[in-house]
């Protein structure tokens, strides 16, 4: 038993975590925070420590071939500094994970996900003679979210003319850092030893923009409002090499599958399609992983569910039969009235 690890920002996060509420994900302890922080991200800017996100570096002569086979979209076509979102499937087509693959160099990639799956990637990489290394503990990562996030970074002296799903390395007043836009906002990557300096510089620059620290709950709320699904939180990924469930189509994730691309588990990506939709509840009682009924008949089920402070009601992601996915369809979940709505619930706080 190794216990929970602290992220490189832990010293500052502990000071900032006024409620002293903690969560643990991926073996790290992280601040839980207050749901109201999600509102702050919609008006100003917030900083969230996401160093716990699982990251694996993939290097080798055949790394391109490997990532191409691994993911449901062809990551080998990326140019250095670009990234894409994709799934990885087991042999039968069950979703083992979902994440972002970034190309760092000609023979070097980095996979980022909220759910760890090192054994699978390492076994598969061995077939190609490609070296994979879990680098989660070797970096500190902060995400800046909100309309003012770009301004905060500019004030801190970082150039932010970065497109979505792109990343770039900087030498930032004596520190080696990397800036990326893989999620809703910006991510700033640094060495663990530089973490506290980076935190302080960002907050110094953010003083004029009401920058505040936020916890994991705020990040989850923003994610859900944005319609983003995370393995482990919203669905249980396949933890076996041959299980058929959950298939990408049963999760409504076919948009992340390139059917012309050849990848592991491709044969399993046919079948009845479900639609990923949002569910708006009339109440403030979330209903995660609950069957959705229309006129007494099951038409799907919810995934993750939370109370959205911006919408002042409970919301949920759900996978639905296509005919029940039209926005406005009246449904019930465990007796509570709700209706279908299109995703995202709200525009991403980072979008202009």
Partner 1 sequence: MSDTFDALVIGAGPNGLAAAAYLAQAGLRVAVLEAEAAAGGGCANNLALGDLAVPVGAQTLYALDPRVVKDLKLVRRGLKFAARDLAQIGLRSDGKPLALGRDAYAAARSIAPYSQRDAERFVVFRRELFAFARVMRAMWWEDGETESQDELRRLAVTGAAAFLDAAFESEAMKAIFAFDAMAGGLSPAAAGTSLLFAWRAAQEMCGLQGAVAIPRVGMAALAEALSAAAGAACVEIRTNSPVARLLLSGDAVAGVALASGEEIPARLVLSNLSRRETLLNLAPADATGFATAKRLGRAPEVGEAKLVLALKAVPGFAAIQPAGRFVIAERLESCIGAHGEARAGRLPGELALEAVVPTMFDPSLAPPGVHILSVLVRPLPVSPEEGWPRLASRLIENVLVLLERHAPGLYANIVGLNFVAPKPSRDPFDVSHMLAPWRARISTPIGGLFLCGEAAEPVPALSCCAARIAAAIAVAHLKGEVR
Interface residue list for partner 1 (CB under 8 A): 65-66, 69-70, 90-91, 120, 123-124, 127-128, 240-242, 262, 264-267
CB of 209 to partner 1, least distance (A): 46
Nearer to partner 1, 9 or 66 (CB): 66
Closer to partner 1 by CB, 199 or 263: give it: 263
- In the bound state with partner 1, the residue whose beta carbon lies nearer, of 134 and 321, is 134
Rounded to 10 degrees, what is the CA torsion of 241, 73, 273, 266? -40
- The string of DSSP codes covering 282-298 is SSS---TT-EEEETTEE
Location of structure tokens 């029940």:
324
Q: How far is the CB of 123 from partner 1 (least distance, A)?
A: 5
What is the Cα–Cα distance from 201 to 128, expressed in whole angstroms? 42
As a whole number of angstroms, the distance between CA 300 and CA 82 comes to 35
DSSP helix, strand, coil percent of the chain (3-state; round to 5)? 25, 35, 40
Dist. CA 106–CA 241, nearest whole Å: 30
Pairing assessment for the beta strands 336-341 and 275-281 based on DSSP bridges: antiparallel
Nearer to partner 1, 43 or 242 (CB): 242
At closest approach, how far in Å is the CB of 261 from partner 1? 10
Residue 233 or 266 having the CB closest to partner 1: 266
Count of CB atoms within 10 A of residue 22's CB? Answer: 16
Neighbours of 96 (CB within 10 A): 24
Q: How far is the CB of 263 from partner 1 (least distance, A)?
A: 9
Q: How far is the CB of 82 from partner 1 (least distance, A)?
A: 23
Compute the least distance from the CB of residue 128 to partner 1, in Å: 7
The residue (of 89 and 325) whose beta carbon lies closer to partner 1 is 89
């Amino acid at each position: 038993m190794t216990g929970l690890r602290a992220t490189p920002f832990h010293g500052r996060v502990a000071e900032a975590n006024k409620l002293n509420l903690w969560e643990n994900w991926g073996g790290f302890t992280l601040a839980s925070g207050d749901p109201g922080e999600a509102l702050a991200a919609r008006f100003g800017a917030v900083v969230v420590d996401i160093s716990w996100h699982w990251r694996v570096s993939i290097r080798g002569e055949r790394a391109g071939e490997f990532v191409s086979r691994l993911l449901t979209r062809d990551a080998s076509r990326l140019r250095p500094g670009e990234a894409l979102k994709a799934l990885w499937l087991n042999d039968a087509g069950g979703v083992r994970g979902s994440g972002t693959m970034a190309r760092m160099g000609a023979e070097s990639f980095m996979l980022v996900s909220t759910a760890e799956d090192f054994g699978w990637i390492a076994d598969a990489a061995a077939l190609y003679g490609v070296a994979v290394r879990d680098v989660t503990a070797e970096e500190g990562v902060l995400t800046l979210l909100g309309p003012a996030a770009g301004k905060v970074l500019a004030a801190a002296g970082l150039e932010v003319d970065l497109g979505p799903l792109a990343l770039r390395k900087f030498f930032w007043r004596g520190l080696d850092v990397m800036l990326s836009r893989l999620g809703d906002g910006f991510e700033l990557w640094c060495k663990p030893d530089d973490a506290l300096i980076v935190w302080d510089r960002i907050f110094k620059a953010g003083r004029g923009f009401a920058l505040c620290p936020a916890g994991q709950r705020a990040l989850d709320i923003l994610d859900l409002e944005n319609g983003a699904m995370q393995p482990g939180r919203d669905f249980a990924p396949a933890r076996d090499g041959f299980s058929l469930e959950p298939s990408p189509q049963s999760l409504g994730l076919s948009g992340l599958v390139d059917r012309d691309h050849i990848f592991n588990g491709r044969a399993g990506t046919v079948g009845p399609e479900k639609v990923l939709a949002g569910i708006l509840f009339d109440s403030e009682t979330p209903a995660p992983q609950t069957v959705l009924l229309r006129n007494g008949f099951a038409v799907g089920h919810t995934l993750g569910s939370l109370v959205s402070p911006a919408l002042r009601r409970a919301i949920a992601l759900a996978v639905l039969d296509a005919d029940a996915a039209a926005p406005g369809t009246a449904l019930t979940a465990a007796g509570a009235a709700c209706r279908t709505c299109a995703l995202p619930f709200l525009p991403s706080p980072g979008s202009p």
